[in-house]
Amino acid sequence: MGNIKKENEGEFDFNKLPEGAYFFSGQEGFVKVEVDKDGNQSWDLQNWFASLDPDRDEVQHQKTIQDIKRRLNADTGMIKPPKKQVKKSFLNPFKK
């Protein structure tokens, strides 16, 4: 495998991955990305929590891949945890 140059800190260019198999992990599981000699990528999300829902379609599958790409730490190969959404109180929806 050759060196892969990052554009900015924490940014990883998936379009320039050399041929091979890559594994990335995070709190929701792990993913495998296989790149063929032409640069085509095959994403295996069988072990990624968000992809376990049988009702997810190809559009949602692509959104999951884009989310993983954004959260990947290029230095460690670890996928950062998702940002927690603010829970709103049922009794006082205006209170943070």
Q: What is the pLDDT of residues 20-54, one digit of tens each?
A: 999 999 988 999 999 999 999 999 988 888 766 66
Does the pTM surpass 0.85? The reply is no
The CA R_g of the chain, rounded to the nearest whole Å, is: 16
Cα–Cα distance for residue pair 29/53, rounded to 1 Å = 14
Q: Give tens-digit pLDDT for 56-74.
A: 678 888 888 999 988 888 7
Amino acid sitting at position 82: P
Q: Are 1 and 21 in contact (CB under 8 A)?
A: no
